[in-house]
Amino acid sequence: MKGEKGITVTISSATRDSGGFVTVKGSVANHGPDSFNATSWIGPEVGLAKSGASVAGAMLIDEVGKKRYYVLRDTDGVCLCTTELIGIRPEETRPFFAQFPAPPAATTEVEFQLPTMPPAKITLSEG
């Protein structure tokens, strides 16, 4: 996924586990001239502000099942995802992860969406 100002997001895996979750892993790379803070990736929900600069606003979209899956949260309301995505310097790459509720077993492909970035089709693998 290529976004504004030289930011790219690469998905390396999307794994369904036996506990009913999907973990998406990847990396964020800054190929732009300025440092990057992922504050716009938190999403519009006020409750996610606790997660800070993170991928808390990410979603998985099951187009066949017509359902959205949002990043899971812990009991304090913080996302089960990488936080502290601040100060990513030019030419720096950082890893990220995000956990979601798993779509039905028959769903093998979903769309990964992250605020300000174009969507990407990803295939779910069994963990």
Mean pLDDT of 94-98: 96
Condensed to tens digits (0 to 9), the pLDDT of residues 58-78 reads: 999 999 889 999 999 999 889
Mean pLDDT of 78-94: 94
What pLDDT is recorded for position 31? 97
Residue-range domains of the chain with CATH: 4-116 (2.60.40)
Residue 100 contacts residue 19 (beta carbons within 8 Å): no
Nearest C-alpha neighbor of 70 from the set 99, 44, 27: 99
CA distance 29 to 51: 20
Residue 41 contacts residue 69 (beta carbons within 8 Å): no
Condensed to tens digits (0 to 9), the pLDDT of residues 17-26 reads: 988 999 999 9
What pLDDT is recorded for position 104? 93
- Enter the tokens of residue 101: 């509720």
Determine phi and psi for 105, rounding to 5 degrees: -55, -30
